Amino acid sequence: MLSIKNLTVNVNDKQILKGINLEIKPGEIHAIMGPNGSGKSTLSHVLSGKGGYTVTGGSVTYQGKDLLEMAPEIRAREGVFLAFQYPVEIPGVSNIYLLKAALNSIRKHHGQSEVDAMDFLTLVKEKVRLLEMDEKFLYRAVNEGFSGGEKKRNEILQMAILEPRLCIMDETDSGLDIDALKIVSEGVNSLRSPERSFVMVTHYQRLLDYIKPDFVHVLAHGQIVKSGGAELALELEDKGYSWLEEAAA
Amino acid sequence: MNTAIATAPAPGSLAAYTPSMAISRYAAEYQTIAPALPGQNLPWLQALRATALAQFSAQGFPSPREEEWRYTNVSGIEKKLFAPSLDLTGTDVDAEWLKSYKLEDAWVLVLVNGHFSAELSVLDGLPEAVTVMGMADALAKQPGTVEKYLGTAADQSEHSFIAFNTAWFTDGLFVHVPAKLVLDKPIQLLHIVTGSEAMATTRNIIIADDLVEVKLIETYVGKDSAYLTAAVTEVFVGLNADVTLYKLQSESEKAYHFGGSYIKQARDARFTHHNFAFGGLLARSDIHVDLDHASECELNGLYLGVKRQHIDNHTRINHLKPYAVSRELYKGVLDDRARGVFQGRVIVAEDAQKTDSQMNNRNLLLSDDAEADTKPQLEIYADDVKCAHGVTVGQLDEKSIFYLQSRCVDEETARNMLTFAFANEMVDKIKIKGLHDRVLEQVLARFPQEGVNKEWL
Ligand SMILES: Nc1ncnc2c1ncn2[C@@H]1O[C@H](COP(=O)(O)OP(=O)(O)OP(=O)(O)O)[C@@H](O)[C@H]1O
Ligand SMILES: [Mg+2]
């Protein structure tokens, strides 16, 4: 599904990612943990094509294609979805309009016709129920005036409707209260399938209690300094990152 | 150019004025048209016109040296020498074209080249108690009422465009809605110009007596040619009355437009203005509001500039008495080499305690050559007030563009969507369906609409 080889990335001439290697197979769930400023969001952004980052070396292959060559919207249409750590407010554009525009772009990309209006509404309402959201959110401007937790839930709503292949979730759990975390996690779990992979950036074990990862990686100073199974997260909860950072330094 | 300034006679002195010394070529032409202007038999109006002429002759059109005109150079008007039409004879109006601007479900008053046309107007079913007529008619039939109001909301010493209008106006509209009347349909004041090198100088008075509720729509359009519109509208909002005035300025690409709206609100009165400034090569609007005790005004504006358009909006809100509320939001979208100007003044008098005022101006620049000049000014002489203002000038937010791209939308569509969403906030405030749809059409026509889908509106 995704193969990252020796990826190095600069921001304003400063090296942030210093040789990332990561292999993700269909159906796998990878958790990425690590201290603040270690480069987790940078990696998520580079994968989804955000500007302002210079790839200085390495490669990223997604479903056999060079991901870095693709425009951001092409990546999205090909099935890469980023649930943002800080979702952006878009005044004047309603949630439902954006969802429809997005879904139709994907369908067009795959040579399909526009979604039928009734089918679309049925689909959207089903997912709204899955995430226990109020239907009113559909008609509000994207993220405008949403609380922190509502924004995160809205990201997962979009994900559930667009059905991506590769779901990158950047700290989706931060800002969610205990009930919301449970609902969102159930939503994510319902999306699990042998063809779909997840990359979950998180600081907390509590998310991983709900969504059990196949692999846990620790990103520190722009490098993956340790990888392991789900039990690594528990060890980190216990010991923090310093022992790994020292080992890497 | 204002190179003739050195030869200006002393201001206000009629005796010093001779055409050859005129700072403005228009002043030199005045004597040839004066006998045809309405109100010849009204000494008070003749005196008013004389004073205005003297003022204009002394100053010419406003110059960028004046603080209130520093971003806007109207010297093109002086170079062109537009000529007023003195009556409607021989004026042909393309009925289909006119129809495309007339709102359905409204009473429509039509002015052609500065003259009221009863024939083209639609007044069926208008309650008899409401007076609507041309200004020339009003001066003949109700001179006393006109005298009581004309020049009392617009101060002609303010700047010479107002003086020019007072001296030159050929006609205009007079609307009087008597107390307690609530009009269920809006009144459209449709100003059209059909001639090339023409000039339409109109003076309009709108009186809404106590407890009246009325909605009016000023529309300015013209055939595709260079011409000058110079309109001054004085609005009087009675005790606890509620007036909404829309202005849709869609002049031709080569036109010059000056439109001044001067509003006096009585105690507890409400006034809402929506100013859509889309047309003209050079367009300037003044909106001045005087607020009495506990009155409220809301000023909304949207200016869209493309090519080499210059669009200037100038608002002034005078909080004269306590407890009044003012809300102002002006948005500009400027592309190509267009320039937008916003000057907004809020003046809170010493007596106007508990004033609550908010002013906002936001500009979106779509090209490197577009320009926005914005100048909010708060002058506060009272000590117990709540006043806020903010301005922004910027490009589309890259974060927002990327967010939309990450949701499968291509970059160009994302830019169009965001531009449209920015402007549409103002369009959405229109409460009259027919007008809303027309304004929306014009917004869409002015900016690329690829990817912007009407169904999400
Ligand atoms: N535009 C930028 N200019 C300069 N430095 C930047 C820029 N963007 C990111 N960085 C730096 O890159 C480093 C990695 O940032 P990133 O946001 O990827 O961290 P993170 O691991 O996601 O942290 P957190 O856990 O706090 O979300 C930080 O030191 C950050 O300051
Ligand atoms: Mg981060």
- Site from A78, A98, A99 to mutate, B interface, most B CB atoms within 10 angstroms: A98
- What is the model's pLDDT at position B455? 57
Over residues A223-244, mean pLDDT: 87
Answer whether A245's CB lies under 8 Å from A35's CB: yes
- What is the model's pLDDT at position B8? 39
The structure tokens listed for B40 are 């010849």
Over residues B24-36, mean pLDDT: 92
Q: B206 alpha carbon to ligand 2 midpoint, in Å?
A: 59
Beta bridge partners of residue B112, listed in sequence order = B115, B192
User: Using CA atoms, how far apart are residues B45 and B358, in angstroms rounded to an integer?
Assistant: 38
Over residues B159-175, mean pLDDT: 96
| Length of chain B as a residue count | 457
> Is A105–B405 a contact, with Cβ atoms under 8 angstroms apart?
no
> Is B400–A162 a contact, with Cβ atoms under 8 angstroms apart?
no
Q: Which amino acid is at B375?
A: K
> Is A92–B424 a contact, with Cβ atoms under 8 angstroms apart?
yes
From the list B402, B421, B425, the residue facing A50 with the nearest CB is B402
Residue B11's pLDDT band, with cuts at 50, 70 and 90, is: very low
Residues of chain B with Cβ-Cβ distance to A84 below 8 Å are 403, 406
Residue B13's pLDDT band, with cuts at 50, 70 and 90, is: very low
Q: A106 alpha carbon to ligand 2 midpoint, in Å?
A: 27
Buried b vs exposed e over B290-325: b needs ≥16 C-beta within 10 Å? bbbbebbbbbbbbbbbbeebbbbbbbbbbbbbbbbb
Q: B395 alpha carbon to ligand 2 midpoint, in Å?
A: 26
Answer whether B194's CB lies under 8 Å from B92's CB: yes
Tell me the C-alpha to C-alpha distance, in Å, between residue B120 and each of A245, B136, B250, B434. 83, 17, 20, 20
Ligand 1 close to Cβ of residue A51 (< 6 A): no
Over residues A145-149, mean pLDDT: 90
Residues of chain A with Cβ-Cβ distance to B403 below 8 Å are 84, 87-88, 90
From the list A88, A92, A103, the residue facing B425 with the nearest CB is A92
Mean pLDDT of chain B: 92
Over residues A194-205, mean pLDDT: 93
- Nearest alpha carbon, ligand 1 atom 13: A37
Distance of CA B352 to the CA centre of its chain: 27
From the list B400, B408, B418, the residue facing A73 with the nearest CB is B408
Distance of CA A40 to the CA centre of its chain: 11
- Residue of higher predicted confidence among B92 and B116: B116
Of the ligands numbered here, which is closest to the C-alpha atom of A170?
2
The structure tokens listed for A221 are 């100073």
Work out the end-to-end distance of chain A between its first and last CA atoms, rounded to an integer number of angstroms.
Answer: 31
Over residues B127-149, mean pLDDT: 97
Q: What pTM was estimated for this model as a whole? A: 0.87
Q: What percent of chain B clears pLDDT 70, i.e. is strictly above it?
A: 93
CATH superfamily of A2-248: P-loop containing nucleotide triphosphate hydrolases (3.40.50.300)
Residue B456 has pLDDT above 70, yes or no: no
- Nearest alpha carbon, ligand 1 atom 24: A36
Residue B360 has pLDDT above 80, yes or no: yes
> Is A105–B421 a contact, with Cβ atoms under 8 angstroms apart?
no
Beta bridge partners of residue B116, listed in sequence order = B111
Q: pLDDT tens for residues A38-93? A: 999 999 999 999 999 999 999 999 999 999 999 999 999 999 999 999 999 999 88
Residue A164 has pLDDT above 90, yes or no: yes
Over residues A188-210, mean pLDDT: 93
Of the ligands numbered here, which is closest to the C-alpha atom of A84?
2
Ligand 1 close to Cβ of residue A87 (< 6 A): no
Q: What percent of chain B clears pLDDT 90, i.e. is strictly above it?
A: 83
> Is A94–B456 a contact, with Cβ atoms under 8 angstroms apart?
yes
Show the beta-strand stretches assigned E in B181-281: 187-193, 198-208, 213-222, 227-237, 242-250, 256-265, 270-277
For B424, the closest chain A residue by CA position comes to A92
Q: pLDDT tens for residues B202-260? A: 999 999 999 999 999 999 999 989 999 999 999 999 999 999 999 999 999 999 999 99
Q: Which helix (H) or strand (E) holds B364?
A: strand B356-365
- What is the model's pLDDT at position B101? 95
Of the ligands numbered here, which is closest to the C-alpha atom of A18?
1
For A91, the closest chain B residue by CA position comes to B421
Q: B85 alpha carbon to ligand 2 midpoint, in Å?
A: 69
Residue B20's pLDDT band, with cuts at 50, 70 and 90, is: very low
- What is the model's pLDDT at position B253? 95
Residue B5 has pLDDT above 80, yes or no: no
CA distance A226 to chain B (A): 30
Q: pLDDT tens for residues A91-126? A: 988 899 999 999 999 999 999 999 998 999 999 999
> Is B408–A90 a contact, with Cβ atoms under 8 angstroms apart?
no
Is this prediction's ipTM beyond 0.90? yes
Residue B87's pLDDT band, with cuts at 50, 70 and 90, is: confident
Residues of chain B with Cβ-Cβ distance to A112 below 8 Å are none
Residue B329's pLDDT band, with cuts at 50, 70 and 90, is: very high
Q: pLDDT tens for residues B265-279? A: 999 999 999 999 999
Residue B2's pLDDT band, with cuts at 50, 70 and 90, is: very low
> Is B399–A88 a contact, with Cβ atoms under 8 angstroms apart?
yes
From the list B399, B409, B422, the residue facing A102 with the nearest CB is B409
Over residues B36-64, mean pLDDT: 95
Residue B453's pLDDT band, with cuts at 50, 70 and 90, is: low
